Structure 1
């Protein structure tokens, strides 16, 4: 039974295609122009309307689509205000006189809905060029403006966005046109957020029921398109409301008081309410928040996941009605580890510092992110700046500051020179901010640290009572320990930084020497700006070294090109005459030849 409707639908589509092909072969562009002029001139030529509709199709040539569209657009714009809101006939029993005029206008409404559907099909088709898509988009948005009796036609706009989101062909051109021409209008942004929320909600329901796979090709393309739309909408800045422009100018856009708007709400139903710019501004944060929360609940592919984490702290969180609502999403992302944790760090840090989020295991997770691969990550620059900010608090415990300093110093032995420069800058700032860890700098015998106050708890527990004293040179720091408090960093020293004095890269050794000078004269030095080192690489270090002006040093050189390997002054009493040496060689050869002849005789 399920195959019968499908076959009937295919047969209808084939018949429609044959009809369009036949019409294109029998009508020229001049004929279409004539049909359009007749339609606009008199109701007697209303039968030209269905004929013109057949040319608005992705399979029609662009000139035919354009000519038919111009006529149909002019016809419907003048007649839309008098058309019913739906093409369905009124239910039986209503006190509505069903006369010929009402039937005619209901029929026109059905043809308008058919035109909108055809325009959307043309817009998302891969067969149409970009110029025609722009014209079709303008026509759709014009119907959005005038198709609902002075109010924004959200149904047409939602249908258009739904077709874009579920399109199997590339729609980058359409999204770019929307951003360029319409997303600066306040009401267009408002209804776009509403549509995105509904699209995401529907997709999630289908995904949970198993009707559509979130990781299927269709599901992945849907999420990519929705992300492209929602991330392209400019946020609502805190500017003067008089600067906001509306796509649908209803004539009721003046700013009203709360009492006046309350009276209007009593007089109008919610679905018939005329939205003013002031109302939209007050509601925009809520719509923005609902759209983003609905989108983030979808099964995001890994590439979209990363792109979302990159923009959350700058483009999403500041404009949410309740930013703390993202705490679950960000903490789960931070717990994943690897690059995802690095990218979620900035947004999580923003929630902790500005919105009161409490995350007890934050520093333990941050400590676990310090691995050699982080120095080659794409977003390492932002990560190291955030790492420096996270370690800035004077309330940071000594054991935690020491653990980070020791973990970074150990990493300096295996990372590239650019990473070593960042590590030296971070440790420099740690030592300046936390004087309690200065014991790590000049400790020569690490076994003496057993008498320090930092290990009094361990001594009280008797952990080292039966253990003989360690020999000098033993490092108590446990690099493999994930918990900073158990790493024994305070019993160690920063010997790794001292070894960088002899680093093969000159900038690294120079920065280590400056670190020693800065710690010696604290009053005349300040913290190092990590931003100056985070973007470094082999190429940047080489470029900086090549730009430096080298001091001239005396070199050994000859005023005139030498003619001999050694000069006579080098070996006094010896002669290096070429002619004399040649004669000696000839005579020696002659004597050796005579000896050979004598011996043979």
Structure 2
């Protein structure tokens, strides 16, 4: 049979030619029943599979244009009928070769198994179709449903014996492998590294999050898939982004109530409970999965950031040995600093902070590395709100030495000299909160410094902005004169806000959430909507022209 792709001409004539070759709905149903009734009709499987191959080739051929509803109905009927046929064969245990059967029976069973594999390959080919239509999307979801039902059937009938616990791991692995690599890499959001693939969403909501055995064996089989990806070098970006998407939505289980996993429903009733309800085994598989994912080649910085963003809540708590992430986090921080990607660096430090806080990891250079992130580029990032939330967390310890706190205050004040107003508005309340929170009397000298007098001919700031160690910058001997200059800032919001430092420190700490999401657009919008009381004083001079004898500029040009 000639495939729909290749020699056929395009257009209606090609469609009519294909329509004449394939079975109609009544014929499909008739063939299905005949195969289920007698082994003599097994050969009719070949015709159905060829029809399915032709239709999938047609769906994958963009030159043939939009596929009409008749073709879609036939494709859906073919897939469902073939599913029912193989489900029937599985229930009769005809897709398994046992000892003691005759040579002829063994030949027949191996042939049926090969057709079963061909059927699933055709379904995976359908998943690989790149272009999107609503009908194709629905068909792909139908394929997922049929494949998952076959996993259920195999678990029930194809084990070593009917009563013995069994989960079809190899079948499930093939489904996962094709599910995770399906789709177009262009669907990966370049902003955050996530993918919003509808097929993955269906898998997540209908299967992954509802059935514990499917979740357990997902993390059990994924390391094998990752190993194949490393060897082939293909599809790793899709797998990584989909793994992040599956992990980020919710914890894989309730850490406070681990025993509740035994109450979750299972998809395969015959799945081995002793294995899948072992929390330690699950944690080891989860750890292997994520370490393997983080070692995939050619991941972009955005993809690293997408994993780092969920590391502290969704990954580290479920690791058997979280300190295995130390090298990855250190390398991510170095990459962020070397490429001047402040967000990547701060997210890496957030992971290290979680290891220090929850696992007693020693990382003596934490605040030195955090200090190194405070560069002029940082306050120009659109992700600055996330940065300040994390920085507020890192600076929350009341045991920080005054010299380190003063260095961070001084560095942030210095950055305000070249920062946009929307960032300065974040820095001013942040510095105010730092001084209040730590309550160091020495830090107050940054506001009321007495190291110089008005009679001094020239003031030299002792702060060493080139020093990388925040404990050695001599910031305590300096002052935040940079913020005093902000009193004369051109933007009225900045000028008004910074005056808090000229008043007594009796005000409560600021709620930083009120300042983190400001932008140029929001500042301008606030000014445009501001209501003024009374008349505004303005100066206006009427000009008769821009240039010439009567123009204002002529006095300067001639």
1:73 aligns with 2:73: no
1:480 alignment partner in structure 2: 466
1:245 alignment partner in structure 2: 265
1:188 aligns with 2:214: yes
Query: For 1:272-291, what aligned pairs fall within 5 Å after superposition?
Result: 274-275=272-273, 279=277, 283-291=281-289
Match of 2:449 among 437, 440, 443: 443
Shift of the 72–515 alpha-carbon distance from structure 1 to 2, 3 Å rule, reads same
Shift of the 303–541 alpha-carbon distance from structure 1 to 2, 3 Å rule, reads same
1:550 aligns with 2:532: yes
CA-to-aligned-CA distance 1:233-259 (integer Å, 9 cap, x gap):
453231534651211123xxxxxxxxx
1:588 alignment partner in structure 2: none
1:226 shift after superposition: 3.5
2:428 alignment partner in structure 1: 424
1:138 shift after superposition: 1.4
Match of 2:167 among 137, 141, 152: 152
Q: 1:124, 1:164 within 8 Å by CA — same for their partners in 2?
A: no
The whole-number CA distance in structure 2 between the counterparts of 1:554 and 1:414 is 31
Q: 1:371, 1:411 within 8 Å by CA — same for their partners in 2?
A: yes
Shift of the 510–554 alpha-carbon distance from structure 1 to 2, 3 Å rule, reads closer
Which range moves more in the overlay, 304-313 or 477-486? 477-486
The whole-number CA distance in structure 1 between the counterparts of 2:471 and 2:29 is 83
The whole-number CA distance in structure 1 between the counterparts of 2:152 and 2:490 is 69
1:415 shift after superposition: 0.9
Shift of the 176–279 alpha-carbon distance from structure 1 to 2, 3 Å rule, reads same
Shift of the 346–402 alpha-carbon distance from structure 1 to 2, 3 Å rule, reads same
1:324 aligns with 2:323: yes
CA-to-aligned-CA distance 1:341-386 (integer Å, 9 cap, x gap):
1232322222222221221111111111111211121321121122
1:235 alignment partner in structure 2: 251
1:116 aligns with 2:120: yes
The whole-number CA distance in structure 1 between the counterparts of 2:127 and 2:445 is 70
TM-score (norm 2): 0.76
Which range moves more in the overlay, 37-46 or 377-386? 37-46
Alignment length (residue pairs):
478
Long gaps (5+) in structure 2:
8-16, 59-70, 158-165, 188-196, 539-558
- Root-mean-square deviation (Å): 3.4
Long gaps (5+) in structure 1:
1-9, 16-20, 207-211, 214-218, 251-272, 449-468, 557-601
Shift of the 202–27 alpha-carbon distance from structure 1 to 2, 3 Å rule, reads closer
Q: 1:412, 1:420 within 8 Å by CA — same for their partners in 2?
A: yes
Q: 1:241, 1:277 within 8 Å by CA — same for their partners in 2?
A: no
Shift of the 81–32 alpha-carbon distance from structure 1 to 2, 3 Å rule, reads closer
1:343 alignment partner in structure 2: 347
Residue 277 of structure 2: SS of its match in structure 1? helix
The whole-number CA distance in structure 2 between the counterparts of 1:85 and 1:115 is 13
CA-to-aligned-CA distance 1:528-563 (integer Å, 9 cap, x gap):
23232222222323344455543335989xxxxxxx
1:145 shift after superposition: 0.7
Residue 56 of structure 1: SS of its match in structure 2? helix
1:200 alignment partner in structure 2: 226
Q: 2:212, 2:265 within 8 Å by CA — same for their partners in 1?
A: yes
Residue 468 of structure 2: SS of its match in structure 1? coil
1:191 shift after superposition: 1.8
2:373 alignment partner in structure 1: 369
Shift of the 378–403 alpha-carbon distance from structure 1 to 2, 3 Å rule, reads same
2:138 alignment partner in structure 1: 131
1:141 shift after superposition: 1.0
1:530 alignment partner in structure 2: 512
Q: 2:204, 2:246 within 8 Å by CA — same for their partners in 1?
A: yes
2:488 alignment partner in structure 1: 502
Q: 1:83, 1:109 within 8 Å by CA — same for their partners in 2?
A: no
Q: 2:287, 2:319 within 8 Å by CA — same for their partners in 1?
A: yes
